[in-house]
Copies of this chain bind each other. A is one copy, B any other.
Amino acid sequence: MTYQHPAADTHFVLEHLVQFDALCQRTGFDQVDQALADAVIEEAGRFASEVLAPSNRVGDQQPPTLGPNGVEQTPGFKAIYQSLAEAGWIGLTAPESHGGQGLPSVLGTAVNEIWQSANLALSLCPMLSQGAIEALAHHADDSVRDLFLPRLASGEWTGTMNLTEPDAGSDLAAIKARAEPDEDGLYRISGQKIYITWGDHQMTDNIAHLVLARLPDAPAGIKGISLFIVPKFRIDAEGNALGANAVSALSLEHKLGIHASPTCVMQYDGAQGYLVGAPHQGLKYMFTMMNHARQAVGVQGLAVSQRAYQQARQYASERVQGRRRDGSKICIIDYPDVRRQLLTMRVGCEAMRALALVASSQLDRAACDPESAALAQWYTPIVKGWLTELSVELTSLGVQVHGGMGYVEETGAAQYLRDARILPIYEGTTAIQALDLIGRKTLADQGQIAEQMIAQMRVDCAGDVLMEQAINTAEVALSELLAGHVDDPELAPAVAYHYLMHLGYLCGGWLMVKSARVAQAQLDAGVGDGAFLRAKINSAEFYGYQLLPRATAHAASMRGGSRCVMAMPREQL
């Protein structure tokens, strides 16, 4: 099964929803424009189809193994990783001063969709390096940054994130890992970290582990957590490897999906590490990375759904079932309900792509505009939560389109569902995203940004009956939330999930209507690819009838308030 990136759709979103050229000019990317973006995306698409996509099944069937030398990755992955690094893809958005390409976040997001569609489990590795790059670029002292960042940006080393411990998952306050200052100005890190993605492998000469741990004088709770960077092999001041550090992968998890991505239990026994930034600021640093990391996981949801859609579409257009009255054979793609399933996947992906890129562009704007920073933070839990929840449904639909064949592993359809199932869990579960959205991003500013976004949608969708109805519902839901939470502290956590999903479907509807209006204007003006533009209008109509009603259903669920969630006695649960 090959993969082909839908470049025309990415182009459309960048040009018309993100307004990429204007964005670049306003945010200081003077050398960058839409033509460059198109070229980058085209090349990434080619590379992904030819190099990454064919390895996706291999990784599922031949997961990494743990041996005496640590984790051995899936056969063939080292060469693929290295060609990705050598082509400069890993540091696409890293600062040019440290060997990166210095391109905007939103372009990095567009390209990340491509890698994640082609091979989600493999592409998790550079995605984590990008998180480490982000952390170092913003928070590390010069010496630590200069030592690690260029090697991460070039892909010479990979990066990992070590947060979770056996008793500290969603609750990072419970972190126990320790860091003792050393005589040479470094630190000795000890403790166990779990669920460490790509925690070990043989694809690069070294691995840089970002680790949350507590200094001896640290206050209790989240204000006593510091961020360290711990190389797999100890290094000298030039970054040359000196020998093994006291860190190793103890075991690998046997997971439902993303088999090719080694999920490690990591043991630190006084491993030499470097403090990133100031002591006790680790969680703050993690939070500044989180917008990128969480949006990146949202994009994984889009990516795996897009891949599943392409495979389902191909199967449906080849699979013959039944005959017409004239005796001609029918491919299942011509059955209305198969069309409905494929359109749900296709249109869902379009809406997700539009939202992911619009949200990501706010991260670029955020660098020079505090209002955009607040907006980017508002989008982040929606992108992470809604896209990943939807991806589980859409990849499951991909199985359904295949019928019995979808249940047979050889077809490959089931892999996308298995891979997607982690996305609403890692990098903060949907519940965590929902609490973030309803608390820090809504109630904390008395709903200002939410109101402003809804008002923007009303302007952009004026005259669209279905969106106007949905917006009316959204306004009522928001005002009931703002009024109700004052006297009912359980209201917000009880309705948070529905609030997030409600806004996700609403944002999708907004951007689809906006897209359809651009498309209509282009058709009226006689410019652009008519077939593509007419399809965009069809997609928006499909979304309005088939996906947007869910926004209203989620708002209706909010009306149950805290009572309908909290009334059942615990022993009756």
Contact = CB atoms under 8 A, between A and B. Distances in A.
Contacts of A244: none
Interface in A533-573: 534-535, 538-539, 541-542, 544-546, 549-550, 552-554, 556-557, 559-560, 562-573
A565 B336 CA distance: 7
A541 B553 contact: no
Contacts of A560: 541-542, 544-546
A335 B539 CA distance: 38
Nearest to A435: B337
B407 A493 contact: no
Contacts of A557: 545-546, 549
Question: What DSSP secondary structure best describes chain A's contact surface?
Answer: helix
Given A408-B254, A545-B557, A565-B339, A313 B573 contact: yes
A417 B407 CA distance: 12
Given A425-B403, A552-B556, A559-B545, A496 B337 contact: yes
A340 B494 contact: yes
Contacts of A194: 404
Interface in A499-544: 531-532, 534-535, 538-539, 541-542, 544
A408 B253 contact: yes
Interface string A398-431: 0110011011111000100110011011100111
A447 interface: no
A338 interface: yes
A387 to B, nearest CB: 15
B552 A564 contact: no
Contact of A566 (B339, B396, B399): B339
Contact of A569 (B417, B494, B531, B563): B531
A501 B564 CA distance: 23
Interface in A185-233: 194-195
Nearest to A337: B431
Given A336-B566, A417-B421, A539-B568, A408 B552 contact: no
Interface string A328-346: 0000011111111111001
Interface string A316-357: 010011110000000001111111111100100000000000
A434 interface: yes
Contacts of A559: 545
Interface stretch (A22-30, A167-175, A266-274, A295-303): A167-175
Interface of A: 164, 167, 169-171, 173-174, 194-195, 253-257, 313, 317, 320-323, 333-343, 346, 392, 396, 399-400, 403-404, 406-410, 414, 417-418, 421-422, 424-426, 429-431, 434-435, 490, 493-494, 496-497, 531-532, 534-535, 538-539, 541-542, 544-546, 549-550, 552-554, 556-557, 559-560, 562-573
Given A336-B496, A342-B573, 5 more contacts: A169-B403, A336-B490, A340-B494, A403-B429, A534-B569
